[in-house]
Amino acid sequence: MAALSGSSGPAMRAEACRILARMREATGACFGNGFAATLRLDMLAELYLAECEDRALHAWTLCLALQAAPSTAHRKIGELERCGLVSSRRGAAPDSDGSATRRDNRYRRVRLTPEGREKTCRLLDQLLQIWSGTGRQDATGMTP
More confident position, 105 or 65: 65
Rounded distance, CA 88 to CA 57, Å?
10
In-domain check, residue 139? no
How many domains, in total, are found in the chain? 1
In the DSSP assignment, the letter for residue 95 is P
Helix (H, G, I), strand (E, B) or coil at 75: helix
What CATH number is attached to the domain comprising 117? 1.10.10.10
Q: Give tens-digit pLDDT for 9-64.
A: 899 999 999 999 998 888 888 998 777 668 899 999 999 999 999 999 999 888 88
Domain boundaries, position 53: 2-132
